[in-house]
């Protein structure tokens, strides 16, 4: 009976005899060790994978948070970009309006900086004109009572050429210099009927005069004045039918229409060059352009 459970294994080294239950024990031992090894390795692998999954989940949550943060930041940036783009368009529109005001043709292809430089230089040119040549209102007036040109003299009742512009205003209304200059004279002119008169010599051959003034001297002969300085007060002196200012503008002795100069502003800067033909604007523009050569003034 014992021989039935004996197993003989022969090889080149000879024969070996094993009992069957010993083989089974060894097999079970090795199998058990193998299973334990597999379980241990599997546990380690599973533990590693669980940690990796947890780590990946944490990274995923962090990535989702960062993504959501980036989405919010992107939306904020898009909003700011839209606002800046609108501001940029508003700036371009304002620059275009400024270019129209100073007589420049809008060049949409040019850079904003270059366009602003041209506006600055053109404004400097205009300032040179407006500082040295009579321009704008000389006083606060209610209406123009008599324009430049042929009319019937309201006192003498005869047709004659009116050499100035009559502006109705209350007695004592301040009169301001329309440009830089030097006071040529202040006097009472009885022969002409102008009453109290102030005359100012300006640059480039221009001259302005103010008649029917109040007898209240503000400036004196030879005094230098700046554009906007107080030079006199309106009155009703001389041959006058009511309180007003008689305003004259001349160029090298030629009488000009003062209303053109009163209306002369930045918004219609180039119009005077076409309207007032008795001034040699071309040579004057060349002179001013020599100081500020970049922009070209309308001729």
SS3 27: helix
Can you give the residue ranges of every domain in the chain?
1-96, 132-267
For the domain spanning 132-267, the CATH number is: 2.70.70.10
* pLDDT computed for residue 157 by the predictor: 77
Q: How do residues 276-299 score in pLDDT, each as one tens digit?
A: 999 999 899 888 888 776 444 444
Closest CA to 231 of 265, 199, 192, 205: 199
At 2-52, the pLDDT tens digits run 445 565 666 666 666 666 667 677 788 888 888 899 999 988 999 888 888
Residues 109-131 as b or e (16 or more Cβ within 10 Å = b): eeeeeebeebbebbbebbebbbb
Residue 110 in tokens: 């040019």
At 75-133, the pLDDT tens digits run: 999 999 988 888 878 777 776 776 665 555 556 666 666 665 555 557 778 889 999 99
Q: Residue 289: its pLDDT value, please?
A: 80
């Amino acid at each position: 009976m014992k021989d039935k459970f004996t197993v003989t294994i022969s090889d080149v080294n000879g024969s070996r005899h094993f009992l069957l239950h010993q083989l089974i024990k060894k097999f079970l031992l090795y199998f058990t060790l193998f299973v334990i090894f597999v379980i241990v390795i599997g546990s380690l692998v599973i533990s590693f994978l669980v940690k990796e999954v947890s780590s990946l989940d944490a990274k995923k949550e962090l990535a989702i948070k960062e993504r959501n943060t980036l989405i919010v930041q992107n939306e904020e940036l898009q909003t700011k970009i839209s606002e800046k783009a609108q501001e940029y368009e508003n700036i371009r529109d304002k620059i275009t309006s400024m270019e129209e005001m100073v007589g420049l043709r809008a060049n949409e292809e040019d850079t904003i900086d270059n366009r602003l430089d041209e506006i600055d230089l053109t404004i400097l040119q205009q300032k040179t004109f407006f500082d040295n040549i009579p321009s704008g209102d000389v006083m606060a007036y209610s209406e123009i009572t008599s324009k430049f040109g042929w009319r019937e003299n309201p006192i003498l009742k005869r047709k004659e050429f009116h050499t100035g512009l009559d502006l109705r205003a209350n007695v004592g209304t301040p009169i301001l210099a329309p440009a830089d200059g030097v006071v040529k004279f202040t006097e009472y002119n009885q022969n002409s009927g102008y009453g109290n008169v102030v005359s100012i010599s300006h640059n480039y051959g221009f001259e302005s005069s103010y008649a029917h003034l109040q007898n209240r001297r503000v400036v004196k002969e030879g005094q230098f004045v700046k554009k906007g300085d107080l030079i006199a007060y309106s009155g009703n002196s001389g041959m006058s039918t009511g309180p007003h200012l008689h305003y004259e503008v001349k160029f090298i002795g030629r009488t000009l229409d003062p209303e053109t100069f009163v209306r002369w502003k930045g918004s219609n800067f180039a119009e005077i060059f076409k309207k007032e033909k008795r001034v040699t604007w071309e040579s004057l523009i060349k002179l001013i352009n020599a100081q500020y050569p970049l922009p070209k003034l309308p001729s």
